[in-house]
Amino acid sequence: MTDFEAYRASAREFLESVAGEFGKDARRGLDVEQDLALGRRYMATKYDAGFGGISWPKEYGGQGLTHTHKLIFDTEEAKYGMPVVYFGISLGMPVPILMHYGQDKDFVKERIVKALRGEEIWCQLFSEPSGGSDLAGLRTRAEVDGNGWRLNGQKLWTSWAQYCDYGVIVARTDPTAQKHKGLTYYWVDMKAPGVEVRPVKLAAGDSHVNEVFFDDVRLEDSQRMSPVGGGFAVAMHTLMIERYIATDSAGFGPPLDVFVELAKTTDYNGRPAISDGRIRSQIARNHAMRAGLESITARAMLMMQAGMEAGPEGSLNKLVAVRSRQKLSELAMDLKGQSGFAYSEHNSPREDWTNSWISAPTGRIAGGADEMLLNTIAERILGLPQDHRPDKGVPFNQIPA
């Protein structure tokens, strides 16, 4: 048995042993607060069993293993429906960025272990009402205040902010510089005076995203994680990670075998739907597409393991995975007929086709809208010329609002 096979076996053994306490059946009927509390207990149990921070350095509380080990565990974990959704962004982007750029290493180590155990959650404060996916157009400002900074402004679409202890944020520190310059990257205490979080109800009925207001929030200079005016580069590092971490080949919709099972058990013209050539073609196309995306992700993980930065190919993952999830969910609803309209906000988009379909548009906006991703693919992967940008080279405070 290879090392990876042995690791997969040990992961399955652990997950089987706790599935009854933490898995999808144990979560049914719980409200968000109850499910989050269950998730915190699961994260602590997972950490104590040696499955927290699998690919992170041991000096930061991780296990010091490879990204392949992490991918193996994540694949097995997904089968059980564990309550990990609240911690995905926290451990996916903000905490790794803190590990890389945080000034106070003792503070960083303490935050990482608490985040791995589910005791603390981090959010990512990027999008704004006026900027959308144009991160360089943000208007939240941080102004020098003695030996620190004073933060004012508003962020929007911040996932799980209502439950977060800390967040990473980009703010404008020099409005006279060009839009991609004059930005600085910080971490912020979400419980600090002047921080107000207001949940936003989405079409699917849930309120996991929020608008966040900052009114004279004090930041110490030790909370700065980029050079002054150099925040855009750190933000891009964050987004490169996000476009691999914050999606999977299924676009966070149901796995393909769930669709195959539906096609086997659904009658279509007197025969199982899976016997229809058009349905089989869609299954084959989705299988090939997902395998391709998983290969791109595996390559990126190996690059990061080797100390390299993941490339812009992550934009392909984000764009294709969620689009295909939306189309496959629509096809599944068509196969189900009238029963496809039945909807409950308590169903998981990973298990229920209707919930997956109605929440897919949110996924096509989060982490960069389709149009932004298409630009990235065109310019950074295909090498096509940039669109005309009338604000290029113009000081930010001279761009018409």
Asked if residue 333 and residue 258 are part of one domain, the reply reads yes
Tell me the C-alpha distance between 248 and 367, whole Å.
13
Using DSSP, state whether 166 is helix, strand or coil.
strand
The answer to whether residue 149 sits within a structural domain is yes
Percent of the chain with pLDDT over 90: 68
**Predicted confidence (pLDDT) per residue in 297-344, tens digit:** 878 777 766 777 767 777 888 889 999 999 999 999 999 998 888 888
Average pLDDT, the chain: 91
Answer whether residue 387 is part of any domain. Answer: no
Residue-wise pLDDT for 52-94, tens only, equals 999 999 999 999 998 889 889 988 998 899 999 999 999 999 9
Domain final residue pick, 103, 120, 137: 120
Residues 6 or more apart whose Cβ sits within 8 Å of residue 297: 71, 244, 248, 249, 317
CATH number at 25 reads 1.10.540.10
Instruction: Decide if 397 is inside a domain.
Output: no
* Residues 59 and 154 occupy one common structural domain: no
Q: Which of 116, 212, 112 is nearest to 169 (CA)?
A: 212
Are residue 363 and residue 256 in the same domain, yes or no? yes
Extended beta strands in 74-194, E state: 122-125, 141-145, 148-156, 166-172, 183-189
Answer whether residue 388 is part of any domain.
no
The number of domains in the chain is: 3
Residue 267 in any domain: the answer is yes
Spatial distance between the Cα atoms of 224 and 147, rounded to a whole number of angstroms: 12
Give me the CATH number covering residue 163.
2.40.110.10
User: 365 in a domain, yes or no?
Assistant: yes
Domain annotation covers residue 395: no
Least confident of 19-23, 128-132, 210-214, 227-231: 128-132
Say what the pLDDT of residue 246 is. 56
**Residue 230 shares a structural domain with residue 265:** no
Domain that holds residue 109: 3-120
Q: What is the pLDDT of residues 334-378, one digit of tens each?
A: 999 988 888 887 788 888 999 999 989 888 887 778 888 898 889
Distances in whole angstroms, Cα of residue 275 to Cα of each of 188, 272, 335, 338: 55, 6, 13, 21
**pLDDT greater than 60 at residue 285:** yes
